[in-house]
């Protein structure tokens, strides 16, 4: 396993055990990147799970930005 694979598995273990909100924004962004790079085309169920998790990560990143006012609001 490569370092990226180990990091992806470690972050996924954290998500599975403590939830997605246990990760920092940087960790969420890194996990998003690592999942995008991983090819699950050989397994349709894994591919669906990947898409669902990527959506949840995107929402968590958005929520993190909203919570800490790091969004691009002009008001």
Instruction: Give 4-56 pLDDT, tens digit per residue.
Output: 999 999 999 999 999 999 999 999 999 999 999 999 999 999 999 999 999 99
The per-residue pLDDT for 75 is 46
**Cβ pair 4, 37 in contact under 8 A:** yes
Domain boundaries, the chain: 3-67
Higher per-residue confidence, 70 vs 1: 1
The per-residue pLDDT for 71 is 54
C-alpha span between 57 and 4 (Å, rounded):
18
The per-residue pLDDT for 70 is 61
pTM, 2 dp:
0.83
DSSP annotation of 41 reads T
């Amino acid at each position: 396993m490569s370092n990226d694979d180990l990091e992806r598995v470690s972050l996924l273990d954290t998500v599975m055990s403590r939830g997605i909100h246990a990760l920092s924004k940087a960790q969420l962004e890194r996990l998003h990147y690592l999942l995008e790079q991983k090819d699950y085309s050989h397994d349709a169920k894994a591919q669906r799970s990947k898409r669902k998790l990527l959506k949840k990560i995107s929402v968590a990143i958005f929520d993190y930005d909203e919570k800490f006012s790091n969004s691009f609001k002009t008001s």
